[in-house]
Structure 1
């Protein structure tokens, strides 16, 4: 070996190399110690088994030199079963790696390992280590993965029988002819192993009834008693052959109403006998259709899904909700089970006492007796809760303005409001309270949380008709002058009663107060009772009126007699007929003669016939005319008092218009006139003096005068109604212009003027050479009379012309007839 590394000598280094200082002899080089060499190792040695130790001799140098790590650079045959480990700086050993099995029976059995080393100086050495694999008597072995153990799976419910065939081998028996024996180290009744290695099951396995897995140790032995073993884990495979069952013992749950949505009310649990450890594989559902609950399909918790109102129609009659819960061990095609559960919804006090109204207005008569029931609140209030005490309530004591001492609750808390005080409307203390009382009462639950509501009661005292309606006086006497105009205040009546408040009294005339001309002579103010005239009264017609005045206040009626005396007044003018007259008398009429037998007849409603006095006013020139008698009678005649004297020139007019005054103040009548009032009537007389044909009008020579009388039909100025009618006709003409134009045209066609014969009075012995002078008086006659009326004084009917005012009597009186005679 020294020659192999070309050393000059094989003397060890001195001093030793392990001292830390290397002294190399002259001519020495790096080389292995104890190599080359031959060694052996038993087959199947475990990894890191030491095979051979060697050292490295360093080269000589002034400085220490360390070898680099020795390496196995080659092996024959090739193998990775060996490697070099360092023991110290220069000591090393060869060990097994375990990467390859050193099996004598398989081979190779000899390995030549080339070990190489090199130091820092670049000096190298290479030696060979021969490793001999020696044969060892090995125990039997299980092949492959069987040696590490096996896992077997047996489905539950399978029939007993063959499970597995074990086959081991003996490494020493290359021919495989040496028999091996198999044993179960710990026999289990459910399994049996034959000597040739056949494993059998002896029972039918139930996953839910027994063990879920079995641990078996199988041992094999050779003829030398060497043995080997392997482990078997037999797992019973669970199949879905069992129905799940419910483990929650509770079937009936009592829950309060009005739980919020999502509240957990039950926790349904179940187990699957097939696999109790995997409960989350179970699925839960509710098969009953309902709107109250839902279930978590994975956990089985039941939650509130809808409102639980015990008072609602669905739960009012039957508060029990029955559900069917289904549990399944797989979504489809699995085993399932069902269970009935019930929820009893219990009533809670979730409703306050409720009233159909919370404000009451009660009208109580003032004369209501004490102890009278005013209002029973129980009839208006209720509680929707169904069970006691949740549906029970009461009422607090009443309070409020003016109610103290007048109202109470009897019995307490009953809601029955009783009258305990006085409500008399005429009582001053009640009047101070306004006869209106406010009661405040609370309706409240008797169970927590004691809901309450306010109730307001307004009690109004209604007045009663306790006293009759009475006039202040049992009778009334009033006086009114017949001269008083309409709307004159006569007097006032007044009625009242002692009831409070005072009601409005209305007055009316029940009977009386009428005459032939007016249905209502009096008017009474319906609110004040003031009596007034509607039209003036007339003593001469009705001197006394007896009225029945009625008073009413809506409840009572009362009548009183009212006497109205009409005070007599001289308010009537004398009315005489004829009211106007036309007369003609001869100039030589004898004094004292009743002119044309003219008679004036007068009447006065409030004066006696003896009270008349006759006076001729303007127009009685030279006092030619007088009345006889001139006083003390209602009939008087017109007489010629003095003669006419035209010859001497004393009289100059021929036509007299007399205005006659008739008064009712004749003191000779012996009658005392009321308040010395005098009324005067008037009559108009037209008198024409007719000269005698032989009468000489004048003594001095005068021109001859011819009198031509033309008569004109005129109307009297006292005919006041003529212009009124003319005005009315004019208004009608304006509104009906077209129609009146035609009428007017016809009237013009028929219009004509008439002239009557004119007589000329000529003085006897006419003086010659005297110029004749003619005096003409014309009276126009209009023969068109388109209207008809009644004279208010005489009552005679006359016709009139609506345009000119001319009129004529339709049936002429005797005076008119005499006038016509004299005029002709």
Structure 2
């Protein structure tokens, strides 16, 4: 080395390209430390490698990866070969390998070479140029394709994936001018595209289900198909487009299920028992083709509610009088007439001998004896608690036979107050002692027991403050211990105005220019107030203190829970009308509660407060017109605050005491002078 060698294209792996020897230094007894290695090639390639032939004989061979192709690869490669002996001596020489061309059969190029759908071009390997003299043939003749003189493959029809075969096999033969030919089998796959809309195969559009079905109950099994995906039905996606709180649909299977409670007696189902839902099927989660259909679910009524009654009678009613028609006071919440009809039987209870039912169907209650709460024949009787057995006509014949007690109280009642009484009696003889206890309810999250019942009298007392804003109704069950009879007690908490408005912000400080225009929302300031027991229209806003010369006001001043601070009049410091540069406003917010208060004459008013600090900034560019001469400006400032009233008082009192002391000393001096100095003109007087 250096040397030049040649090798034919398409040589197999392991073909020898060039053989050379390595000579080492006489001092290198152990031969080479690094055997000959191709450290670089130009152009870069891995098509060559070095194999040892003997002790110091080596051969450059082909690796077959990549295959040396005269038409697609460089025609020459410079291989840099490095070697080092054990003494550290090195050598680097170049072997130039030239690629020789050879005559080949026609070769398919492009996609056709790897048997894909698109056909390729042919080339003449000798001249490396496309020739129009190639002859092409295509078999079988029955396929809907043809090949042109240039080797391009064309279809002869528009394919429909849903009707035509999905695959075609084409045998393409190319022949060059020398008679050499090559044949390639091309597999043409027809690719399916999403051009069909899915369609529903479910024909049913109306479904009927009873109310109160358990969650998960299957209502319908919606099915659909897509001509694009006959082999993959799971690619369809189902959804409900209309907002429905009762049902949901499985997006993969189309199964429609109950997901919410269906109560035929509640609104809007009570008036409109038909539920409409728009079901959509899509062939892609987003952006695909879809179809929709409307289904209707009719909710059928079942007999799931017992009749309920609420009656009362006045005292001093004479015997034989028609008292009331129970049908006007008893209702069955079921909707269908077959489920909401009932009968009346079994009149009982304390004082039931004074009354009678006209018939089981009419429900007319008659008085058989005079009813007078003050009648001495009935001592201690405060309430007639009657029980009538009201039973459904339809199966399963629900029955109401237990009494109800309802107490209405204001939430401001004192703790320990008696709010009502529960009565029970024992039909045994001799009657047993009945004790009362609360067995269920009557508590909240904060208090385990809000109510207490007298074990012997049945008086119900409150043990904690009741809050209308937290709980408006308390329901608990009272048990009479003799026969373990129970009654439901409902305590309705009546609303009173006991919450004061809470405003944000409750303190705010800002500055405004002295020339701010009247009617401006000052600094965009507004307050927002909340009150848990008052309507937003009940708020009123008052500036109680600090609004000197009434420069500020709130708009609106009433009827909203949001109000803005407005400049009502301009500032006038030039004439001396205004002297304050800092205004500290104290704002009162009251909730008249005229909207929500039940008793308009005795309603309470609660007040919230907000403090505002406003500093007026003088305008330094303001020019005040003057006349020749001078102006004496006298500034008076009270150096004592109102809270230091005692300072001038002490000074004044001290001054008065000092004046009195000086007067007394003058009086003593005059008396002393008079006693020491006799009158003038007397004999024997001594000159002063």
TM-score range, shorter chain: 0.3 to 0.5
Q: Which has the larger radius of gyration?
A: 1
* TM-score normalised by length of structure 2: 0.42
